[in-house]
Amino acid sequence: FRYSVLCQDETPFTSEAEVFAFAKSADVSDLVIEYGSLSTLTGIFDVCTRWDLPASSSIENEPVISGAPTLIVTGAYDPITPTSYGDVAMATLPNATLVESGIAGHDPLSTSGDCGVNVMHSFLINPAAVLDTTCLTDVRPDFSPE
């Protein structure tokens, strides 16, 4: 599934050279570029060549523009979708509610136990209501072995 999404929706719209150029412009360390996670990331281009899927329509890389009530949730420790992506999404979703969890990683609603489920449920019941998200700042990691 992962390769199908990446190889249809992402890699056709960029190149390995563009990824490296962006890393250089962002002052990413040469060691990271050459031997670290960036070299692993760019390996996806080789995988996608072998995966041999057609590219999605270029509209897939355009921002969604909608007046529908939308819940956008970000986690401060998300290595995949940084919190800044929430701000970008808000620009074209005028009826969106942005919830930022300062203690969560990727998929903060489902990893925050009942708290995240309750926030999502509250939004679905009444998208116009102000959400009580204080529980997202009170959640502590559960390190129990069970």
Report the candidate in 101, 111, 110, 106 with the shortest Cα–Cα distance to residue 78: 106
Q: What is the distance of C-alpha 108 from the center of its chain?
A: 11
Residue 12 has pLDDT above 90, yes or no: yes
Q: Is the full-model pTM beyond 0.75?
A: no
Q: Cα–Cα distance between 137 and 100 in angstroms, integer?
A: 9
Residue 96 has pLDDT above 90, yes or no: yes
Eight-state DSSP code of residue 57: P
Q: Cα–Cα distance between 91 and 80 in angstroms, integer?
A: 20
Res 31: pLDDT: 60
93 close to 70: Cβ distance less than 8 angstroms: yes
Q: What is the mean pLDDT of the chain?
A: 84
Residue 57 has pLDDT above 80, yes or no: yes
Res 91: pLDDT: 96
In terms of average pLDDT, the best of 13-27, 31-45, 79-93, 104-118 is: 79-93
Res 86: pLDDT: 92
